[in-house]
């Protein structure tokens, strides 16, 4: 841009100064004319420099993830692929889709930020991020953020889908935090220097209804995460540790609250509290989590990463699902004690390839085990359902980075449910889970990121 202005300036000078071959001296009027032209040029340059400086603060980025998925069987009485990129449509065992199509605009003014991100896929458009962030100017350690953004809980939520080695987040996180984002506000503390420069603290207040849904009750949820980095530069190793907490409520729209209990037969199931004061009362939603990430540069092979998280707590849901709801429950609430974790290992192989191994477990009802499912407790409002089954998923993947923009992902998920051996050869609706059902998923993805 500066060279362009210089070119036009020289051109203007040549147009206003007489030919050098002439002997006639340059008059005062002609010099004044040249001076005026240069002054106008300087003013124009200053004006356009302001435009250029403003444009420099705008960053446009995004990524696209077209993919092909394949599963074992079709026309099954159970859902396949819900946590592996979306439920397979009826009568299909393979599907092409655009999993994510993100476009993000960021205006960064050093101490303030404006961020807007949308997701465009074959089924429509969705808002992903829309927030304003302000950082105090003195120490630049404290900031405030408000709008739609990642919930400050654990590690996997805020780890971008464009960088994550597995195609999807673990079943645990997809159940507790569908959509990852939330609408609210938070404070963060991230010192730039000093003994606390390795620490970050995020604490926020949120609606609790998800990133794109309106608030449906008068309760607000508090979410927080504290992380600390411990570098071991002398041996090429780094360790990051974090703890998280989630404290909220979901409004009960009825008088019925179901909690783990014992049926008249002595078998485990649910007990119901039908007190009239349960109407409009809050049902606790509480999570506690720890996370850790280990980075190490292995000789010959290259860098490796070991990540893990463990979460436990209480989750309000329904008889048919334990996924966090974006709307008011129309029926009684089932509050379950849950636990879950994942562990992933990523090994770089050369400069272009990565091997991925991931294992995750989600137990939506930690009060029962597979042996507790018997014929007498798998029916009725107090009985156990498929929602109470524990699942584990083993993921095996290979990633090839074609260049700085494109990568190919090959990933196979082996999904296993608890085997309800006591229900084999019975008329229970859960008898099909007496063995591991066929619901493994293979994903081939191409990602373009800019």
* Residue 34 CA neighbour count, 13 Å, CB half: 15
Residue 228: which residues within 8 A CB-CB, separation 6 or more? Answer: 198, 199, 200, 240, 241, 242
Question: How far apart, in Å, are the Cα atoms of 226 and each of 40, 187, 194, 245, 290?
Answer: 55, 12, 17, 9, 10
Q: How many CB atoms lie within 10 A of CB 264?
A: 8
Q: Please give the model's pTM, rounded to 2 decimal places.
A: 0.87
How many Cβ atoms are within 10 Å of 321's Cβ, its own excluded? 14
Which regions of 142-281 does DSSP assign to beta strands (E)?
A: 142-150, 181-189, 199-206, 221-232, 237-251, 257-262, 268-273
DSSP classification of residue 422: G
Sequence ranges of the domains in the chain: 1-56, 60-98+207-449
Partners of residue 445 on adjacent β-strands:
67, 409
**Residue 222: what pLDDT?**
98
Q: Is 329 strand, coil or helix? A: coil
Predicted local distance difference test score (pLDDT) of residue 46: 66
Token digits for 396? 């095996």
**Which tokens is 4 given?**
């362009």
Nearest alpha-carbon partner for 204 in 184, 233, 190, 234: 184
pLDDT at 334: 98
- Measured CA to CA, the distance from residue 294 to residue 80 in angstroms comes to 33
Q: pLDDT in tens for each of the 450 residues of the chain?
A: 444 444 445 444 445 544 444 455 666 666 666 666 667 666 666 666 767 777 889 999 999 999 999 999 998 899 999 999 999 999 999 999 999 999 999 999 999 999 999 999 999 999 999 999 999 999 999 999 999 999 999 999 999 999 999 999 999 999 999 999 999 999 999 999 988 999 999 999 999 998 888 899 999 999 999 999 999 988 889 999 999 999 999 999 999 999 999 999 999 999 999 999 999 999 999 999 999 999 999 887 889 999 999 999 999 999 999 999 899 999 999 999 999 999 999 999 999 999 999 999 999 999 999 999 999 899 999 999 999 999 999 999 999 999 999 999 999 999 999 999 999 999 999 999 999 999 999 999 999 999
| Sequence-separated (6 or more) residues with CB below 8 Å from residue 27 | none
Length reported for the chain = 450
Distances (CA, A) of 358 to 169, 180, 274, 397, 415: 10, 20, 42, 9, 12
d(CA 150, CA 180): 6
Of 420, 312, 408, 331, residue with least CA distance to 369: 420
Task: Please identify which residue in the block is written with the tokens 């960088």.
Answer: 163
3-state secondary structure of 104: strand
Strand partners, 225: 202, 244
CA atoms of 41 and 2, how far apart (whole Å): 12
């Amino acid at each position: 841009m500066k060279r362009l202005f210089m070119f036009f300036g020289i051109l203007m000078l040549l147009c206003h100064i007489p030919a050098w071959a002439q002997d006639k001296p340059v008059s005062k009027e002609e010099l004044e004319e040249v001076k005026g032209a240069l002054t106008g040029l300087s003013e124009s340059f200053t004006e356009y420099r302001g435009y250029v400086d403003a444009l420099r603060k705008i960053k446009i980025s995004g990524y696209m993830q077209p993919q092909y998925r394949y599963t074992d069987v079709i026309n099954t009485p159970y859902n396949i692929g819900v946590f592996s990129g979306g439920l397979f449509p009826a009568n299909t065992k393979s599907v092409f889709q655009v999993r994510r199509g993100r476009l993000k605009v960021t205006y960064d003014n050093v101490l303030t930020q404006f961020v807007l991100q949308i997701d465009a896929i074959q089924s429509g458009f969705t808002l992903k991020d829309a927030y304003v962030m302000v950082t105090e100017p003195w120490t630049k350690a404290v900031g405030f953020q408000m709008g739609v953004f990642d919930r400050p809980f654990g590690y996997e939520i805020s780890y971008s889908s464009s960088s994550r080695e597995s195609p999807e987040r673990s079943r645990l996180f997809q159940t507790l935090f569908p959509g990852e984002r939330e609408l609210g506000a938070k404070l963060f503390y991230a010192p730039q220097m000093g003994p606390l420069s390795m620490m970050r603290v995020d604490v926020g207040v949120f609606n609790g209804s998800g990133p794109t849904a309106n608030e449906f009750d008068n309760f607000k949820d508090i979410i927080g995460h504290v992380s600390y980095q411990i570098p071991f530069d002398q041996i090429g190793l780094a360790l990051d540790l974090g703890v998280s907490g989630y404290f909220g409520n979901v409004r009960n729209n009825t008088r019925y609250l179901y909690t783990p209990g014992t049926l008249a037969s002595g078998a485990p199931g649910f007990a119901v509290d039908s007190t009239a004061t349960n109407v409009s009362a809050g049902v606790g939603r509480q999570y506690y989590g720890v996370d850790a990430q280990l980075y190490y540069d292995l000789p010959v092979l290259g860098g490796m990463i070991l990540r893990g998280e463990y979460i436990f707590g209480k989750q309000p849901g329904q008889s048919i699902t334990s996924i966090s709801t974006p709307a008011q429950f129309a029926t009684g609430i089932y509050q379950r004690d849950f636990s879950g974790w994942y562990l992933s290992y990523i090994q770089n192989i050369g400069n272009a390839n990565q091997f991925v191994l991931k294992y995750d477990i989600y137990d939506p009802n930690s009060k029962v085990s597979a042996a507790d499912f018997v014929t007498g407790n798998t029916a009725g409002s107090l009985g156990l359902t498929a929602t109470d089954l524990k699942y584990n998923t083993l993921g095996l993947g290979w990633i090839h980075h074609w260049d700085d923009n494109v990568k190919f992902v090959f990933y196979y998920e082996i999904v296993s449910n608890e085997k309800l051996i006591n229900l084999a050869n019975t008329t229970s609706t859960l008898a099909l889970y007496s063995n591991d059902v066929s619901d493994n998923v293979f994903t081939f993805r191409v990602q373009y990121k800019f």
